[in-house]
Structures are given as structure tokens and as C-alpha cells.
Chain A
Amino acid sequence: MPPPVASLATSGLLLLFLVSAVSSSSLPLENGIRVVSAEKRIDLTGSIVKVFVTLKVENAASASDASQVLVAFTPTEVQHLAIVKATRAEGKRKKKAYNPLSVQESDLPTTPNGARLYSVQLSTPLKPGETTTLQVFYVLTHSLDPFPAEISQSESQLVYYRDSAVLLSPYNVLEQVTYIKMPSNRIESFTRVDPTSRAGTELKYGTYNNQMPNTYLPILVHFENNRPFAIVEELVRKVEISHWGNVQITEQYKLKHGGARHKGAFSRLEYQSRQSISGTSSFKNLLARLPPRVHSVYYRDEIGNISSSHLRTDSHKSELEIEPRYPLFGGWHCTFTIGYGLPLQDFLFEADGGRRYINLTFGCPLLDTVVDDLTIKVVLPEGSKNPQPVVPFLAEQHLEVHYEFNPIFMLAEPLMLIFAVFLFFVACIAYLHMDLSIGKTS
């Protein structure tokens, strides 16, 4: 009987439309994009994880222009993400120019397995049928878990790294390969997801073909990493600007070794006699990169000056190598202060409209360290008005503070001194002209 069958068919069609409508709301907007090839290179040779992903992205011929490309991260990765940068190669062969693209957190609803999306804004939209190559670079901190969690002085440090064998992506990935580079030849174990191969210090997971969107195959790599795990738990940077020609920076550090904790006693004899075996995961030096033309550098802590430091300057940079009073083993802390002065003309500029702005590096000058908590205080001279900081979104960029200053206020300091001296003279005059004698003099 036609009418019930027709009504069943229409209700079936309606249901289908509803289901497709619901599922399409969780798909990315540019659902014509797919990744033709992806190469992920993970660098585990330090204490932080650096990942370079090269994506060759194609826009389907039937879709609309794509203005953004989405990259996905797991919730744990997002918690530990320090930087995400993207560049796009333009031009052919020798004329390749890498243009930086802006990356923003996407407010699209999260994908089915809880992954978070970041959107790479393309400078020119991707036309249907075109392909382009993007490089995405990101850094994860605190992502290497030491296992065993406690080691003695003569043991090596082994850490876990957790990731996925296939690239987590909201698009179809046709072909992909992942390379993981270790700091040394000692790899205790790694998850095998065929095809997996190992060549010396490098692991290769790939080549995987035709992966569906949002696939995630967890892998665990257990390897030796004796690089210094220096973590600055708290850094307070104070920048004092004087219009008479100096910028004075004072930094107070609370440094910690964030690797496997040290257990047992520390034997100084064993440490110094067998340096290749004992304390392999400890560190005793830190390098700080400072701007060129730095002067009056000091390195001290609460006890006093620490003389074990070296300063090397050249025309492009200055390097300060500091040695704390004791080597740092897992779980050990130390606190110290570094201070230095810089010439004003390298940092203070005049913006449009007569406002001045100071341009400083935002992060910590210590190389290869992770900073958990950073406070920056900028002290402007007397008479400055309307300070406005311009804070970068992610670290490793420059902080700018804009303010207004009338140069006549620079006279405030000498006028104060002149007034004080003049008061002294007025007091002298007053004393000299006062008649303090009891009786008549003449």
C-alpha cells in the first residue's frame, strides 16, 4: 500500500538527513581538505620534546576555498604545549620563502575522542584542486616521564615518551611516516605498530596508508636520556629603566632538576673520580644568552657572590656560563640571582605619536630550560604616563611596553638635588644673619 510505504520512506529519509546533519556539525568546516602526505619528526634529544610536522594538504576539486587548516592535539598535549608555529613554503626550489602563519586555538566543538583543534590561518586561501605544503612546529614540556622515578648516583636516567604512531588529524591522511630521534643508542623498549624499524638512534613508524580522521594508535618508548632536565620553577624578572642611559635587569631564579629523583647518599669522591659513570644525569653548568653590550653582570645568591661563572661577549650576543655551588641531581633545588645592565638605546624607541616603547625579550635567558612560572616587573621612570604592555601570545617573543613621557620630567632628579643643596645654603644664611647673643654687642 503506497501511502504507509511512502511515509516510512520519507521518515527514513528525514532520519538520515538528521543523522548527517548532526555528524556534519562535528566535522571541520573545510571538509574538502585531506592530507596527501605527512612526515612527523620528533626530536627527543633534549629535555623538551620538539616536533616538526610537514603536511602536504590538498583541497578537493568539489569543495570551496579553504582559509584554514586544522591540526589536532590530545588533551594532555595541549596542557604541555609551549609553542605552536606554522610556516608555508612558497615558491619553487631555490626561491622557497617560508612565510609564518598565525595559529590560533579553534573554538570548534572537539572531535569524538576529545582531541583539541588548532587552526592554521592560510595567508591566501587554498583553491579547490590545489595542494600546498605546511610545516608545523610545536614544543611540549614536561612530556618525558622518568622511569624508574628514582635512581642512584651511578645509574643512567631512563624516560618514557607517549605518543601516537599515526598523526592525529581531523582529515583523512593518505600517506604518513613518523621518525623519532633519541639522544643515545640505548632504547629499552618501544611499541611495535607494523611497519616499525630502528636505525641506531632513530625509530621509524611508517609508512601508514589511508588513515581515517581522528585515529590514534598509542605507542610508548622507553629510552635513556641523560641531558640536563633544568626546570626553573619560578622566575621573577625586574626591569628598571632609567632615561639617563641604562636598563637594569635583575632576575631571581628557583632552579630544579626535573628528572629522575636522586635516592641514596651523594658521594663526592665517586662523583669526582668517576665522572663518566657517576652523575651522568646531573648537570653543573648552565648557559645564559644575554644581549650584546651588557655590563655590570653579577651572579649571587643569599650567601653571597658566586664566583664560578664566565662571561664571554662579542658583537652579537653575550654568553654567561654559570656554575651553581653544587651539581644538581634529580629533585635538587637551588636559588640564585642574576643581574646585568644594558644600554638604553638598544631597547627604547620612539613610536608614532610621540609615545615611547621599550622592547624586551619575554622569556628566560637560560638556554634549554623550561620556566614554569614567570613574573615580569617593568619599572618606568618618574613622570611616565599611560603604560600599556603588549604581551605576546606565546613565549620566545618580545614584550613591548608603551608609555608616554615628557622629557622635561627628566629634570626632576637634578632639581631635587639642587633644592636639597640650596636648603643647606639657606640654612647657612639664616644662621649667619641670626643674632644669638644674650647681651648687646656694641
Chain B
Amino acid sequence: MQATASISSPVPVVWYPTLAVAMVAVGLMLTASFFMSGLYANSVEIGKPICLRYEATSSRHSRSFAKEITTAAVASVFLGFGSLFVLLASGVYV
């Protein structure tokens, strides 16, 4: 028998539930900021419903496009890792 080093997970298993909650929380907050920045930044007409206010921002899409993509990317990274840790913490070892 070789006396060799044993390999374990790169992240300690006891951290899985904590990491899951933390990352999903951060991811959801970033998602919220993604949607909210789209809502209030460009709405001018107060009387119209919110979905139609969105359509009014088409003129400024080139400026906020990069910002929206960045927020989306960061939020999806956090939500992705968070859902991975949720799956691992609940016993589905993917």
C-alpha cells in the first residue's frame, strides 16, 4: 500500500451551507440592482406602467449596455456558484 496524500475537495465541506447562502444572497442583490437600474435610470413618463417605461429607453442603450452586461455577468457568476453550493450542501454531489 502506498502511503500517499489523500485528495479532498478544494473547498472544505463544512463551508458548503454558509457559502451557498452567502453567494446566493449576493447574487440576488446584484440581480435586483440589474433590474432596478434599468427601471429608474431612464423612466421619464411617470404616468405610464413600468413595462412601457422600459421601451422608452431604447435611445440610450449604447451607454448603459456595457454596464448592464457587466452587472449581468457578475450576478450570474455569483448565482451560478451559489446554486452549485446549494446543490452540494443538500447532498446532490454533482
Q: Find chain B residues with CB under 8 A from A414 CB.
A: 80-81, 84
Residue of B8, B55, B93 with most chain A CB atoms under a 10 A cut-off: B93
Against B, the Cβ 8 Å flags (1 = close, 0 = not) of A233-260 are: 0000000101111101000000000000
Identify the closest chain B residue to A345 (Cβ).
B8
Asked if B9 and A425 make an inter-chain contact with CB atoms under 8 angstroms apart, the answer reads no
Contact of A441 among B2, B5, B35, B56 (CB under 8 A): B56
Asked if B72 and A410 make an inter-chain contact with CB atoms under 8 angstroms apart, the answer reads no
B25 on the A face (CB < 8 A): no
Chain B contacts with A in 1-41, Cβ cutoff 8 A: 2, 4-11, 13, 31, 34-35, 38
Q: Find chain B residues with CB under 8 A from A350 CB.
A: 4-7
The distance in angstroms between the C-alpha atoms of A160 and B55, with both chains bound, is: 90
How far is the CB of A157 from the nearest CB of chain B, in Å?
41
Asked if A248 and B38 make an inter-chain contact with CB atoms under 8 angstroms apart, the answer reads no
Asked if A351 and B2 make an inter-chain contact with CB atoms under 8 angstroms apart, the answer reads yes
Give the dominant DSSP class at B's interface. Answer: helix
The distance in angstroms between the C-alpha atoms of A246 and B16, with both chains bound, is: 13
Stretch at the interface among A74-82, A121-129, A144-152, A432-440: A432-440
How far is the CB of B32 from the nearest CB of chain A, in Å?
13
A426 on the B face (CB < 8 A): yes
Asked if A425 and B93 make an inter-chain contact with CB atoms under 8 angstroms apart, the answer reads no
Contact of A422 among B4, B72, B84 (CB under 8 A): B72
Chain A contacts with B in 404-442, Cβ cutoff 8 A: 407, 410, 413-415, 417-422, 424-426, 428-429, 432-433, 435-437, 441-442
Asked if A435 and B7 make an inter-chain contact with CB atoms under 8 angstroms apart, the answer reads no
- How many A residues face the partner with a CB closer than 8 A? 42
A306 on the B face (CB < 8 A): no
How far is the CB of A429 from the nearest CB of chain B, in Å?
5
Against B, the Cβ 8 Å flags (1 = close, 0 = not) of A5-42 are: 00000000000000000000000000000000000000
Asked if B7 and A349 make an inter-chain contact with CB atoms under 8 angstroms apart, the answer reads yes
Asked if A349 and B4 make an inter-chain contact with CB atoms under 8 angstroms apart, the answer reads yes
Contact of A243 among B9, B56, B79 (CB under 8 A): B9
B61 on the A face (CB < 8 A): yes
Identify the closest chain B residue to A412 (Cβ).
B94
Chain B contacts with A in 65-94, Cβ cutoff 8 A: 65, 68-69, 72-73, 75-77, 79-81, 83-84, 88, 91, 93-94
Would A245 and B8 be within 8 Å (CB), given that A296-B91, A413-B94, A432-B54 are in contact?
yes
Would A417 and B72 be within 8 Å (CB), given that A242-B93, A244-B93, A346-B6 are in contact?
no
A344 on the B face (CB < 8 A): yes
Q: Find chain A residues with CB under 8 A from B55 CB.
A: 435-437, 441
A289 on the B face (CB < 8 A): no
Asked if B72 and A429 make an inter-chain contact with CB atoms under 8 angstroms apart, the answer reads yes
Inter-chain CB contacts under 8 Å: number: 106
Q: Find chain A residues with CB under 8 A from B4 CB.
A: 349-352
A204 on the B face (CB < 8 A): no
Would A244 and B6 be within 8 Å (CB), given that A418-B76, A441-B55 are in contact?
no
The distance in angstroms between the C-alpha atoms of A343 and B4, with both chains bound, is: 17
Identify the closest chain A residue to B82 (Cβ).
A417
A69 on the B face (CB < 8 A): no
Chain B contacts with A in 35-62, Cβ cutoff 8 A: 35, 38, 54-58, 61
Chain A contacts with B in 327-347, Cβ cutoff 8 A: 341, 343-346
The distance in angstroms between the C-alpha atoms of A433 and B6, with both chains bound, is: 52
Chain A contacts with B in 376-418, Cβ cutoff 8 A: 407, 410, 413-415, 417-418
Contact of B84 among A248, A348, A417 (CB under 8 A): A417
Against B, the Cβ 8 Å flags (1 = close, 0 = not) of A289-301 are: 0000000100000
A356 on the B face (CB < 8 A): yes
Asked if B7 and A421 make an inter-chain contact with CB atoms under 8 angstroms apart, the answer reads no
Chain A contacts with B in 94-136, Cβ cutoff 8 A: none
The distance in angstroms between the C-alpha atoms of A428 and B71, with both chains bound, is: 12
Contact of B65 among A244, A420, A421, A433 (CB under 8 A): A433
The distance in angstroms between the C-alpha atoms of A168 and B61, with both chains bound, is: 93
Against B, the Cβ 8 Å flags (1 = close, 0 = not) of A263-286 are: 000000000000000000000000
Asked if A345 and B80 make an inter-chain contact with CB atoms under 8 angstroms apart, the answer reads no
Contact of B38 among A246, A348, A422, A432 (CB under 8 A): A432
Asked if B58 and A435 make an inter-chain contact with CB atoms under 8 angstroms apart, the answer reads yes
Would A433 and B81 be within 8 Å (CB), given that A244-B94, A344-B9 are in contact?
no
State the B residues within 8 Å of A (CB).
2, 4-11, 13, 31, 34-35, 38, 54-58, 61, 65, 68-69, 72-73, 75-77, 79-81, 83-84, 88, 91, 93-94
A-B contact pairs, 8 of them (CB 8 A): A246-B93, A296-B91, A345-B7, A348-B6, A407-B10, A413-B94, A432-B54, A441-B55
- Give 6 new A-B contacts, CB below 8 A, not counting A242-B93, A441-B56: A346-B6, A350-B5, A350-B6, A356-B7, A428-B34, A441-B55
State the 4 A-B residue pairs at the shortest beta-carbon distance, nearest first.
A418-B80, A425-B72, A245-B9, A242-B93
